[in-house]
Amino acid sequence: MVSLSSATPVVPGELIPGVCGNPAPLRSSRARPGGFCLGIARRLRRSRIDLDYPFETELGIRIPRPLGHGPSRFIPEKEVPAPLLWDCFFLSCLCHSEESEKLQSAVDEHFCCFSPDHLTIQVGKEDATMHTLFAESFATLGRLDNVTLVMVFHPQYLESFLKTQHYLLQMDGPLPLHYRHYIGIMAAARHQCSYLVNLHVNDFLHVGGDPKWLNGLENAPQKLQNLGELNKMLAHRPWLITKEHIEQLLKTEENSWSLAELIHAVVLLTHYHSLASFTFGCGISPEIDCEGGHTFRPPSVSNYCICDITNGYHGVDEIHASPAGSILSTESVCEVEALMEKMKQLQECRDEEEASQEEMATRFEREKRESMFVCSSEDEESAATRDVSRHFEDTSYGYKDFSRHGMHVPTFRVQDYSWEDHGYSLVNRLYPDVGQLLDEKFHIAYNLTYNTMAMHKDVDTSMLRRAIWNYIHCMFGIRYDDYDYGEINQLLDRSFKVYIKTVVCTPEKTTKRMYDSFWRQFEHSEKVHVNLLLVEARMQAELLYALRAITRYMT
């Protein structure tokens, strides 16, 4: 259980720190009661419990309300597995806090049915893993963000993700802590991901970063400015990275990077480029303490009791949202049946005959060319806001299909340079243990399965997962000699390809319409699973190009 014994008492009449004016201190206040109250209010308000009376009237604390409902704009809140567990977790923390007596008294008076023992009953064994993950994440970061609340659909992956991110940001490593968060800001800004930028601006300040750096990349040390070129190529056109780019960073007379520092920076850049894809791909809502995430307007629904949560009632507005798979049209059912039939037929063809290497290469080139013409009707240039664009240079630089505009880039053959045989050992040698953490995360995402497809159980989804992974790598020019790329067109329809390409290449252009239009009969948890594949396949693709360039420089 997380303890707040080190927190300072709440002063009656005190505003929650940072909300009026600059919300940044909220994230860096960590376990201060202001931020703690906010965490409680944030989840309980989403459950339509009115905490204004006890907290604002009796204690004089102004509590902001979230503008949205739930951690995702794409997924109805009642479909996310976290809300009840979150409420139980935070309220049980409140009850066990020695210095939260006033807050506890208010809860006891106005929610008389609440007790820690009652909560213990409500959290069943099936939730134990999630509860542990929440506790560890909160103890480590001082927060549970919306990314975590959506990823918890898949606890096994979330555990690996949090462990890796914690190591990259907080454990011993080549780069100082404030550099790590600033690099996270630079990476997220390339995709105009204000959600991640805001989180790391606050973390950057919390670990002692110079506020002047936040005025623009030109105010940061030259060493970080020099990283800008690699950042933009990794984010948008990683196939253009050469050993000369690596040499420029390592051999600069002043402000040079060491190999270990560069590996750390590359992993951070790829981590946050891909996390931006997840943020946009799942429609992650702004955190309550960030711009666009809160309001002080009075709530429209009140007078709910804590018992309503435990009984599964979360407010009248929930009737307006239905999960992806709640109303299955005949057409949708036919789609999933057709997909399963294609998988069966492809497996039978595999067993009967195998295409030649020449034919496999031809099919790869065909799929690579066709991927250039996969674009959304909503595809248009999106200008970055000043608050985000100041953290990177060359704002006009973006994704371009590597085969367009007369550019010819040789195919990246995994048989010549792979993560398993080359990248893993290089990372582990220069940044110990990180290679192992990344490898575990890649494998979990790639192999994760519940053997279900929409309403069907006991289904082998390995063929479908491999098609998604290899299609992403194909868009980056990465080829597996032993894979038949003809399977991709059989398994991935156009709406799905549009979604994949947008989330991976230009995530800032992702819309709810794109999210809703693919796999209409599948559960939201399955669509989040797809996003985990997109995140890890993209990160590995970027790493392969960067690590190959580093290897070539070293040899």
**Which amino acids are annotated catalytic?**
193
- Position 57, amino acid: T
Nearest 5°: the CA angle 231, 233, 236 is 105
Neighbours of 248 (CB within 10 A): 15
Closest CA to 14 of 63, 66, 65: 63
Measured CA to CA in angstroms, residue 112 lies from 49, 106, 107, 115, 204 at distances of 13, 10, 7, 8, 41
Contact yes or no for 252/229 (Cβ under 8 A)? no
CA 504 – CA 99 distance, rounded (Å):
46
- In three-state secondary structure terms, 144 is coil
Q: Are strands 456-457 and 478-479 parallel, antiparallel or unpaired?
A: unpaired
Closest CA to 538 of 506, 496, 509: 506
Closest CA to 447 of 524, 519, 536, 520: 536
CA 555 – CA 550 distance, rounded (Å):
9
CA 173 – CA 452 distance, rounded (Å):
40
CA 158 – CA 134 distance, rounded (Å):
10
CA 227 – CA 213 distance, rounded (Å):
14
Burial class, 439, CB count within 10 angstroms (exposed 0-12 / middle 13-18 / buried 19+): middle
Contact yes or no for 536/441 (Cβ under 8 A)? yes
Closest CA to 371 of 273, 502, 480: 502
Give the single-character DSSP code of 284: B
- Position 387, amino acid: D
Neighbours of 178 (CB within 10 A): 17
- Rounded (10°) angle between helices 177-190 and 259-281: 50
Rounded to 5, what percent of the chain is helix, strand, coil? 60, 5, 40
Measured CA to CA in angstroms, residue 284 lies from 148, 195, 276, 323, 440 at distances of 10, 8, 10, 16, 25
Who's near 331: CB < 8 A, 6+ residues apart?
A: none
Tokens of 317: 């507005």
